[in-house]
Structure 1
Amino acid sequence: MTDASLVPGQQHTRGALPFNQVDVFSTDRLYGNPVAVVHDSASLTDHQMAAFARWTNLSETTFLLPPTDPAADYRVRIFTPTEELPFAGHPTLGSAHAWLEAGGSPQNEDSVVQECAAGLVRVRRSEVLAFEAPPLRRHEPADADSIARIAAALRLPPAEIQSAYWVVNGPKWVAALLKDADTVLGVEPDFAAMDGLEIGIVGRYPAGSDCDVEVRGFVGGSQGFEDPVTGSLNAGIAQWLIPGGQLPSSYVASQGTVLGCRGRVHVRFDEGRTWVGGATNTVVRGSVELD
């Protein structure tokens, strides 16, 4: 098994680590969601990782390390600008892409096994990389008080929310099903009113459209933001709505439209497993000095 974090043939000085920035969930470069990936990160401290993630100011920055579980091909730590996450979707696909592109050799030809704080996550290698959604850590209907808070944060009457469900798998998403994709696209959220909530919304497109649903993901607070394209949220939505028949077993989600992105998330429920995939493209290659 190749060292999971070294970039073959790339020269770098002491203290400089190989680095990629990968665009995830769009076939068109610069229209997906970027993730920063630092290779060969075993020498870095928690403080250095957190500081670099804060400095990149991307939704997530990842650090590749040798695995501690013999079943894994590599280990990853995932940081937002403010915290470390046990799992996140687009960083999983971006990290797997960067690891493979750097010459990583998985134990199984058809998939890569990532070790993260949430456990082992399998990434299938097919037309696009697709991760197997980990089990939800919290999965239950949102209560009336939570729905009222969600409605206020979305500036919608509570009756506009058809149903809402906690779909926590790393990020603490609560997802709301709205009437249709146009309603999703028209939402103008009040980030301050979210008061720490991470809210995902989803609505169906008419039959025959290019995509099946429109998804948006909001992280609340004084520095609140809308995430361009979100693997963890799409995984949670699929695990919530496919079993109940509200979404088909295979579909394509559009996300990032309001932000000028063209995210496309490919979702498939297959033999009891939910797979979430999309295109991955390296945009930046180089090195970083964190000492």
Structure 2
Amino acid sequence: MTRYDYRLVDVFTEKAFGGNPLAVFREPGGLDAKTMQAVAKELHLSETTFVLKPSSASADHRVRMFTPDTELPFAGHPTLGTAYVLADGKDATIRLEEGVGVIRVTLRDGFVQMEQPLPTFTGTTITRKVAADALGLAVEEVRSDVPIQVGSSGIPFLFVPLANLKAVRRARRLGGLGANVYVFALSAERSGSDVHGRMFDDGLGIGEDPATGSAQGPLGAYLVAHDLVRVEPTTRIRVEQGFEIARPSILDVEVDKAGAAVTAVRVGGRCVPMGGGWLDL
């Protein structure tokens, strides 16, 4: 039997018990994928990560990340939280090899930021009525002036724009959309936030996610593309999430644009170290 230590960190928050919790195994040794998945199910956090030697010369570490039900090629809070743990919360630049490629993460004065893959978007046949029914809302609570779209920087999300904060709060995960659903409105609970969002997963074993970093790059690009925020060469957007499940989270998004093209997206936030533990396997 071998003892495997892990660190626990809350991501996208400045306060303990906020944000999205993450377990990071810095030295998982010879654990195979089946055991890693079993560990993630045992801990039952949104994600658990395992740090390995990189296979790419352009990376410092390789990271595998698991929800309770499946392995992911990329996710936001596991990327930031893992980098934070590896740097012991100190200023650093770390390159993490993930399923979508090498992700560059910087830590400066306690703020952790990653450069995400450029988002891609596709249309959908899901109508406002279908989306509203699946979310327990009236059709009028789904905006008609901007589209429902699928966006991805590695994990696809169905972005459903809602009319107001009340509609986001009322939304429920009734199923039937066959996708990870991100609902949002351009209103917020906290001063300084621009967007209030929620994410309901499909088959990841999460349910409602406290903070979905991998959705923020596509969300930011969507908001810029449809002129839903004040667009600048670098547009900064603050998103709040997790309030409905008592895990308030703040996610900061930057979108670079040249002409009509989005040229870069960055997502960041703060982390709170919570301690750690071990498993004997």
- TM bin (shorter chain): 0.7 to 0.9
Determine whether 1:24 maps to 2:11.
yes
Q: What residue in structure 2 maps to residue 181 of structure 1?
A: 165
Q: What residue in structure 2 maps to residue 151 of structure 1?
A: 132
Contiguous gaps of at least 5 residues in structure 1: 1-13, 104-108
- 2:193 aligned to which of 188, 211, 214: 211
1:159 is displaced (CA, Å) by 4.2
Q: What residue in structure 2 maps to residue 84 of structure 1?
A: 71
Q: Deviations over 1:114-173 (max 9, x none)?
A: 10111111112224101112133x511322x35543222111234432221111233331
Contact kept? 2:69, 2:204, Cα under 8 Å: no
Contact kept? 2:118, 2:265, Cα under 8 Å: no
- 2:153 aligned to which of 169, 174, 180: 169
Q: What residue in structure 2 maps to residue 275 of structure 1?
A: 266
1:81 is displaced (CA, Å) by 1.0
Residues 214/206 of structure 1: CA separation in 2 closer, same or farther (3 Å cut): closer
Determine whether 1:129 maps to 2:115.
no
Q: What residue in structure 1 maps to residue 249 of structure 2?
A: 263
1:284 is displaced (CA, Å) by 2.0
Residues 176/195 of structure 1: CA separation in 2 closer, same or farther (3 Å cut): closer
Identity of aligned residues (%): 29
Residues 177/98 of structure 1: CA separation in 2 closer, same or farther (3 Å cut): same
- For residue 202 of structure 1, give the secondary structure of its aligned residue in structure 2: strand
Q: What residue in structure 1 maps to residue 277 of structure 2?
A: 286
- Structure 1 residues 3-152: aligned runs within 5 Å: 15-101=2-88, 111-127=93-109, 128-136=111-119, 138-143=120-125, 145=126, 147-152=128-133
Q: Deviations over 1:19-59 (max 9, x none)?
A: 10110001011111101111112411111101101111111
Contact kept? 1:150, 1:199, Cα under 8 Å: no
| TM-score (normalised: structure 2) | 0.87
1:270 is displaced (CA, Å) by 3.5
AA aligned opposite 2:68: P
Counterparts of 1:241 and 1:58 in 2: how far apart (Å)? 29
Contact kept? 2:137, 2:167, Cα under 8 Å: no
1:261 is displaced (CA, Å) by 2.0
- For residue 148 of structure 2, give the secondary structure of its aligned residue in structure 1: strand
- For residue 37 of structure 2, give the secondary structure of its aligned residue in structure 1: helix
AA aligned opposite 1:167: G
Over the aligned positions, Cα root-mean-square deviation in angstroms equals 2.5
- For residue 67 of structure 1, give the secondary structure of its aligned residue in structure 2: coil
1:98 is displaced (CA, Å) by 1.0
AA aligned opposite 1:68: S
AA aligned opposite 2:31: L
| TM-score (normalised: structure 1) | 0.84
Counterparts of 1:206 and 1:51 in 2: how far apart (Å)? 37
- For residue 236 of structure 1, give the secondary structure of its aligned residue in structure 2: helix
Deviates more, 1:280-289 or 1:230-239: 280-289
AA aligned opposite 1:217: M
